[in-house]
């Protein structure tokens, strides 16, 4: 799978020659089709296997006493989730665009996330400017991005902590900053944090941030991170108006 650096090199190369650009676009479409077909063909039967295992457990509870049964079930579930994320990554550039009030959209996300923290010791605050204009974008995918970033912020905090969502306009862009005071990232981790299959979380697939990056890129925006180890992190989404 191409990483962020490879994709940038291909874009630079494509701009240098129209014929090369056509060839690269053709190869990328074929690559995405093959990747999508492979994940689809594997995911469907594997989902049936997982459902069958769950049904077997429900009908025969004694199976849970078999050594490695629970581990096997979790492994199959993990692979199903990985294939789902692989499909999401592959379709990250396909947008269903609409015009929507961005401030209302953000307040809904902030409320949903705040409710998810009720049983934790994590504090959450949001600062959403009142003058945010309507935005053209894919609401579902942008919601996926922001909730993923907020969940990552939650995961970065071990016990007590604070997560802040801030949104404002800057020139011809709307900026959303998500900040946590969790474990932070090292200077070595930051350059690869958006690369596919790169994860610094336990049991992470390494596709969550890669999906976020691809979705924001498809909106012609940017997704960046600033962080220091032990001092939390700030993920910044910038979207053109």
Cβ of 147: how many Cβ atoms within 10 Å? 15
- pTM value is 0.69
The tokens describing 197, both together, are: 């299959």
In this prediction, residue 210 carries a pLDDT of 85
In this prediction, residue 7 carries a pLDDT of 60
The CA–CA distances, whole Å, from 114 to 88, 121, 163 equal: 25, 12, 10
- SS3 of residue 203 by DSSP: coil
Return the exposure string of 114-139: e unless at least 16 CB atoms fall within 10 Å of the residue's CB, then b.
beeeeeeebebebebeeebeebebbb
Query: Smallest Cα–Cα separation from 240: which of 213, 222, 215?
Result: 222
CB under 8 A, 24+ apart: contacts of 25-32: 32/90
In this prediction, residue 127 carries a pLDDT of 95
pLDDT tens for the 241 residues of the chain, in order: 555 556 666 667 667 777 777 776 677 667 666 666 677 677 778 888 888 888 998 999 888 888 888 888 888 887 877 777 776 666 667 788 899 999 999 999 999 999 989 888 999 999 999 889 999 999 988 998 999 899 999 998 988 899 999 999 988 899 999 999 988 888 888 888 888 777 776 666 677 888 899 889 989 999 999 988 878 899 999 999 8
């Amino acid at each position: 799978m191409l990483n962020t650096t490879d994709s940038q090199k291909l874009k630079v190369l494509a701009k240098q020659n129209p014929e090369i650009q056509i060839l690269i676009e053709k190869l990328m479409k074929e690559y995405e089709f093959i990747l999508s077909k492979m994940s689809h063909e594997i995911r469907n039967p594997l989902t049936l296997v997982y459902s069958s295992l769950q049904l077997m457990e429900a009908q025969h509870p004694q199976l849970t006493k078999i050594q490695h049964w629970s581990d096997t079930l979790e492994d199959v579930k993990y692979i199903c989730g990985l294939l789902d994320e692989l499909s999401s990554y592959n379709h990250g550039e396909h947008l269903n665009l609409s015009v929507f009030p961005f401030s209302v959209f953000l307040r809904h996300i902030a409320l949903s996330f705040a409710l998810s923290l009720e049983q934790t010791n994590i504090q959450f605050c949001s600062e959403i400017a009142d003058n945010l204009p309507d935005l053209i974008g894919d609401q579902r995918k942008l919601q996926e991005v922001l909730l993923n970033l907020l969940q990552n912020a939650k995961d970065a905090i071990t016990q007590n902590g604070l997560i802040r969502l801030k949104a404002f306009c800057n020139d011809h862009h709307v900026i959303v900053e998500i900040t946590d005071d969790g474990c932070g990232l090292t200077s070595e981790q930051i350059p690869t944090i958006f690369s596919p299959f790169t994860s610094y979380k336990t049991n992470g697939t390494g596709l969550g941030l890669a999906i976020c990056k691809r979705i924001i890129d498809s909106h012609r925006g940017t997704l960046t991170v600033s962080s220091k180890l032990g001092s939390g992190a700030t993920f910044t989404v910038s979207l053109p108006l």
